[in-house]
Copies of this chain bind each other. A is one copy, B any other.
Amino acid sequence: MTERVVFFVSDTTGVTAETLGHSLITQFAGQNFRQLTLPFIDSVDKARGAVETINATCAAGKPKPIVFSTLVQPDVRAIVKESDGLHLDIFDEFLAPLTEELGEEPVLELGLSHGMSNIDAYMKRIEATNFALANDDGGASRNYDQADVILIGVSRSGKTPTCLYLALQYGVYAANYPLTDEELETGELPKFLMRQKKKLYGLTIDPGRLVEIRKERRPMGRYSSAQQVRFELREADKIFRRYKIPNVNTTSFSIEEISSRILDSTGVERRVRP
């Protein structure tokens, strides 16, 4: 099938253009997209270079490329807009109504969103990441007093990536504690966890999926056997019910979805905005 190129053009990282564009193009199932990011297009010269790159994909008979952009500077945006692609820019669309409603002119400065304009936000994310690493998998630190949330679940239920995502994206202090044979066989949580009961949040997952994930790590043996996985998940579920710990089944969720559900359900505040 003919490939259609999608460009994400940004005067900074391209993260916003990528996120925006991805939400939209995933709604068109019948296409074969090739995605390219052109970051740091922050001058008129670079804008001309970007247009050349875009137009080079428009050879005879090829479909028109799609250009998602988040270009703050009007002169840069005006140039990229003249490429041969279909140009969709959030500042073009949304800046006018916002300016009118807020009664204030936009500063039109680069890097205010994903830039280091806010050192405080940067430090919070770094510190939250360090916290997640130090308190990963029941790690030695166990600074659970400082935690906003403590995820519990069996091995490979998604605890670590979720904690890291909560830290990097939102500056949230997320610890995690693995439910191992000790807890699963006795059905009891250790005292140091019970003292933090309000912060506990459970992750569970369908047995079939967990077997698959564990086999990636260790193809053979008890760890990835269907019997063991079913036993662990059943006992973890009993613990969640016994202690009334809110929990989410991660089987059909992405890391973003798991994280959003945890924040939504616990009411934990984002310390930083993406």
Contact = CB atoms under 8 A, between A and B. Distances in A.
A20 B20 contact: yes
A257 to B, nearest CB: 5
B66 A161 contact: no
A146 interface: no
B160 A133 contact: yes
Interface string A205-220: 0000000010010000
Contacts of A70: 23
Contacts of A18: 273-274
A49 interface: no
A104 interface: yes
A30 B93 CA distance: 21
A215 to B, nearest CB: 11
Contacts of A116: 251-254, 257
A16 B23 contact: yes
Contact of A31 (B40, B95, B104, B169): B104
- For this chain, the copies found in one complex come to 2
Q: How large is the interface on A (under 10, 10 to 19, 20 to 34, 35 or more residues)?
A: 35 or more
Contacts of A19: 15-16, 19-20, 113, 274
Interface of A: 4, 12-16, 18-20, 22-31, 35, 37, 39-40, 64, 66, 70, 72, 86, 88, 90-91, 93-95, 97-98, 101-102, 104, 106-109, 111-117, 122-123, 125-127, 129-130, 133, 136, 158, 160-161, 164-165, 168-169, 213, 216, 251-257, 259-261, 263-264, 270, 273-274
